[in-house]
Structure 1
């Protein structure tokens, strides 16, 4: 296990322990989602990686739109492949970590589109992290 894997597992364990300490289920779920999203953003601090994720998500959405228009699954599959290729290049070459989707595929997929929306709304920057507004402070 690499140092990065150990660090990621520790972050997730801390997030899960905090979420599980609450007895109220209605409060636990949003807290857990936010904690995972904070972890997800920690894994996407490099601006080139973020830009590649944004481009990849755009390719995926364009593939979805073309699939619906053409009534064919091919554009969607191509969009998904292009999206993951962009994201993985961002992680392996720029961020220098493993994509969270390897261990948490569904949460990562949801967090990627949350990150995409935060960029569109101006809550996350593709220029400099100092402009980020998406994190909640505890």
Structure 2
């Protein structure tokens, strides 16, 4: 898939979700991000600064292979790092709120229109 361009985050969001069309990818993102956050929080509380690297190392270290091996695409982070970070947070909030089915619908719609 070629590099996409977007005028706004709102335009980017459905594309971002489509790049996470498979539930396994979304759940791996969730697990990696929450584990990375927990390690970073531990680093802050304990004063062990090396654990602050937990979020980017564990978060991206689990998410990127999911793109390559499950989705068979490149992470949106490569072309849109700031919006991807915002998208990750929005996607995880929706998943934690029990709205994963909405993400699947957004992805399916974008892929049907643009795939």
TM-score range for the pair, normalised by the shorter chain length: 0.7 to 0.9
| 1:72 aligned onto 2:48 | yes
Shift of 1:57: 0.9
- RCO (CA 8 Å, sep 6+): is it higher in 1 or 2? 2
Structure 1's consecutive aligned runs of 4 or more residues displaced over 3 angstroms after TM superposition are: none
Please say if residues 35 and 55 of structure 2, whose CA atoms lie closer than 8 Å, have aligned partners that are also in contact. yes
Query: What is the root-mean-square deviation of aligned Cα atoms in Å?
Result: 2.0
Superposed CA offset, 1:74-102 (max 9, x none): 11213321111110111000000000111
Other-structure match for 1:122: 98
- Match for residue 102 of structure 1 among 72, 78, 85: 78
Is 1:59–1:80's contact at 8 Å kept on the other side of the alignment? Answer: no
1:90 aligned to 66, 69, 72, which one? 66
TM-score, with length taken from structure 1: 0.68
Change (3 A) 1:122 1:34: farther
> Which residues of structure 1 form unaligned runs of 5+?
17-31
Please state whether the residue corresponding to 1:35 is helix, strand or coil: helix
SS in 2 for 1:54: helix
Runs of 5+ consecutive residues of structure 2 not aligned to the other structure: 110-115
